[in-house]
Structures are given as C-alpha cells and as structure tokens.
Structure 1
Amino acid sequence: MLLLVGVTVTGCTTSGVTSGSKPSAPSPPSQITTVPGGPTFTGPYAAVLADMYAKSRTTAEREALADGTITDAEQAEMVERLRKCVSGFGHVLVSYGKAGGSTFDLNPAQETDAANNEVSECEKSSGENTVGLVYSLVLRNPENIDLIPKIIACLKEHHLVGPHYSRSDYERGLPDFPDENRNIRVLRCNDDPLNRIADE
C-alpha cells in the first residue's frame, strides 16, 4: 500500500493517490515579526517563521527555526526523524523530495485511515509541517513574491492553457488532462515556476 504526499499540500491521502497541488495564494512579504517570549524574525518569510515557531512542538524544531534559516543539515535531520517515526508504525518512507513531497509504503497490516493518521502524526512530531514547510517555501520562492503570474506564464509557455488564461482562471483550479505527461508538466509549473527546485 503506497501513500503519496504532494509537494505543496501537507497531509495524507488515500493509498496510491498523489495529493494535488493547489493554487498558490500570494503572500505579501513581512519584514519584522516577533514571537512572544521567542525570537524576532526578519525578511520576506518573517510572519511564516513566527507562525511555525509558535506551532512547533519540539526543541529540535525551535532550534532549527530560531535563526530564520533552515539549513540542508537541519532539513536532513527532520527527514530522518520522519523516517524513524513512520518506521515505528511499520511504514516506510520511500522518498522525500528536497522541496517537499513524500512517498510512503504503508504497513499492509494497518487499516488505511489509521495508517494515514499515523503518518500525519509523524509529520507533526518530526517537524515536517514546520521546518520542512519553511525549507520548501524558501527553496521554491526565496523572496516570497507572488508566484501566480509566473505560474500562468509557465502554463502558457508550455501550451497548457490558452493565451487568455488569467488569474481568475487559475484560482478556479489547474487544468486537467487525460495525458499524464501534460498533467505532470502542469504540476511542475505550479510547484516550481522559478525553476528553483530543478536547479538544486
């Protein structure tokens, strides 16, 4: 039984299904945000960092987030915590993309709903929902710019939408094709319109 978790959506799906990438809402950059009793964050992801710090459960998460930068080593440590956690339930972390997106081989002896809940809990306890989220957001979009125009331009460049495709069209949902290769290209435009992930 295989569980696939999409790049831009955190959470579990039913076995054998990739969670779809949802439209990315623009987020105006924040410059300074202070967590009560915690650090002060600056830069385009200050508000996100403060929110993730406030939601963090463990010392490891807070230490990784405190300086406002998630290093490759801190990300790797998070992935290892996730791997160990799911293995404790008899599941296997098959793959974890550098910018998010994970594949799990679920314990066949476990009911799907229970297995999904276990993976979800591991994502929370490992820091995948905090450290992993910040890492992938910054990798994908370091300046926290509005990516929707870039996504639309990418979709048009690859002839996946018509010339008049607009922001309102995008906000209603991504195009869907019977051709799996075209759908993969749609998701690439949506998940990595700046070609940041491919370049890593």
Structure 2
Amino acid sequence: MRRFPSHAVRFVEGQWREFGRAHNKSVLAVQLWGELEKAMVRRFHAIPVFCLAVLILASCSNGAASTDKTTNPWRTEIQRMYSRTDSDLVREILRDGTITDAEIEEFQESYNKCLAQYDLSSSYSREDGSESVSDQFSQYTPDQLNEHVDQCRTKTGYYELIPLDQEIHANPNHVSEADSKRKIFDCRKRHGLLDADLSYEEYQKIMEAKPDSSGRDPLLDTPFGKYYEDTESEEAQQWFACETETSE
C-alpha cells in the first residue's frame, strides 16, 4: 500500500511543506506534490472571463448556485472551479456551493472505478488529506503507479475538486495568507513554543529558509527542529495544531 498526500494543500506559504514533514515523507508523496501544486497554480491564475460577473452579480449563467460571501467565504473559488471543470460529477458536487462528506464519498467511488482497471484502489481521509493507494498485485514500479494514479485523477476531475475541498476544510473562514502567518506565530508564542524575545520578522526568516545543495531541511538545524524530528511529542502536536486553530 502506497500512502501519499492528495490535498494536503495549505493556503499559507510554507504550511504545505510543514504538512509534508508532519504527515508523510514517502518518495511517492514527494513526486505527487508537484502535480497538486500545478493544479493549484492553474486554478488561482486562470479566472474565466465569462464568469467574472459572478463576483458582483448573483451567479454565472452556467447554473452555479450563488451564496452570499458572508455565509460562504469560499463562494468565489467554488464558482470559479464550477466553471472550469470538465467533470460532470464535480460540477454537480459544486453546484450548490458546498462540498459534503457524502459527495466526497460519491466522488471517491468514481475515482476508484477508474483505478480498478489497473487493479488499484484508493482510500481517502478528508480529515488529514492523505490517500492510501493499494496495488493489489504489487505489479507496478513507483513511476508506473504515479502514471496510473495521475491518469485517473485527471480523468475524474480529482485535481479540481480535492485540492479545493482540502483548502476549505483546512481554512473554513478563508483567512488571508498574511493574517494566517501572523496568527500561527502568535499561537506558537502563546503556547511557549517560541522564545519570548523572538520577533515575527526573525521567525519568518527562519521558517522561509531554503534547503542547501545537500537537500537537508534547514529547520532541522534551528530551535524548531525538535518539532519536526519527533512529531508525536506533545509540543510538536501543538506546533502543528496552531496551523488549524488560526483558520477557525
């Protein structure tokens, strides 16, 4: 069974990297991160012209449901994805402006039907955004497995629905990136996970450090390294919990 992230998409720069450290370190996970990142880039940089009116008026003429921004902070993104996807099922799921557990289960059935032709099956956790793909006969190399999974994700509209669902799940109030970064810092400081005299600017400089040519994670050599080396410790659990608490 291969386990790799499916959404694990985080709305704050750096959180995606942190989520990967905390939840999954497999080679396949790393290989598939890129595909999801491409999907996210495509979505946020391609706003259909014919749907721009929806930001001001009730809804697009394509039939997507309109929901007041004050009651659904993700209305714009949902309508945008509704207009972009070629998947009838994804469009039906997004039509009313919400994504339910039952709809994710329905989508998962469709996705698994595609995987079944390769003797593969998928188990998806909406809670932590992980996906376990089972190769029934252990017949594929990692590259072959990635290829089949990518084909089914593309065919079913997975790249359009699941990253969006996980963004909503992780950040239901659509907190901005700048606000979220600051709130994560404040949360970690409040819980005693940062030095009392550490400034926000100093903290951000450490968090945004890039790996050197060896590929070693620079955070491992900082006072924060302990949270990534032992993710089961109580302090580490709180460190990552601050990411979720700030979006509620």
TM-score (norm 2): 0.58
Partner of 2:175: 145
What RMSD, in angstroms, separates the aligned Cα atoms of the two structures?
3.8
Q: Distance in 2 between matches of 1:166 and 1:95?
A: 36
1:5 aligns with 2:5: yes
Q: Provide the rounded CA distance (Å) in 2 between the counterparts of 1:171 and 1:38.
A: 43
Unaligned runs of 5+ in 2: 11-25, 38-43, 45-53, 210-218
Partner SS for 2:97: coil
Among candidates 16, 27, 32, match of residue 14 of structure 1: 27
Match of 1:166 in 2: 200
Structure 1 distance, partners of 2:182, 2:237, is 19
Question: For 1:52, which of 72, 76, 81 is the aligned residue?
Answer: 81
What TM-score do the two structures reach when normalised by structure 1? 0.69
Q: Which moved more, 1:113-122 or 1:99-108?
A: 99-108
Give a deviation string over 1:44-88, Cα, whole Å, max 9, x none: 213311332133121111111121111221121112222332233
CA distance in 1, matches of 2:247, 2:194: 19
Q: Deviation of residue 171 (structure 1)?
A: 5.7
What do residues 10-57 of structure 1 show as CA deviations (whole Å, max 9, x unaligned)?
Answer: 9xx63476988x9xxxx9xxxx53546453644221331133213312
- Kept in 2, the 8 Å contact 1:52–1:130? The answer is yes
Is the 8 Å Cα contact of residues 41 and 49 (structure 1) preserved in structure 2?
A: no
Gaps of 5+ in 1: none
Q: Which has the higher helix share?
A: 2
Could you say what secondary structure the match of 2:4 adopts? strand
SS at match of 1:8: coil
Q: Which amino acid aligns with 2:131?
A: S
Q: Which of 78, 82, 96 is the equivalent residue of 2:125?
A: 96
Counterpart AA for 2:208: R
Task: Quote the offset at 1:7 in angstroms.
Answer: 4.7
Match of 1:193 in 2: 245
Preserved CA contact (<8 Å) 2:174 2:247: no
Which of residues 175, 189, 210 in structure 2 aligns to 1:156? Answer: 189
Larger Rg: 2
> Does 2:230 align with 1:179?
yes
Q: Which AA in structure 2 matches 1:126?
A: T
1:113 matched to 2:126: no
Provide the aligned length of Structure 1 versus Structure 2: 186
Give the whole-Å Cα distance in 1 for the aligned partners of 2:191 and 2:82. 38
**SS at the partner of 2:232?**
helix
Alignment counterpart, residue 112 of structure 2, candidates 64, 83, 98: 83
Q: For 1:144, what is the secondary structure of its paired residue?
A: coil
Task: Specify the SS of the correspondent of 1:3.
Answer: strand
- Name the % identity: 22
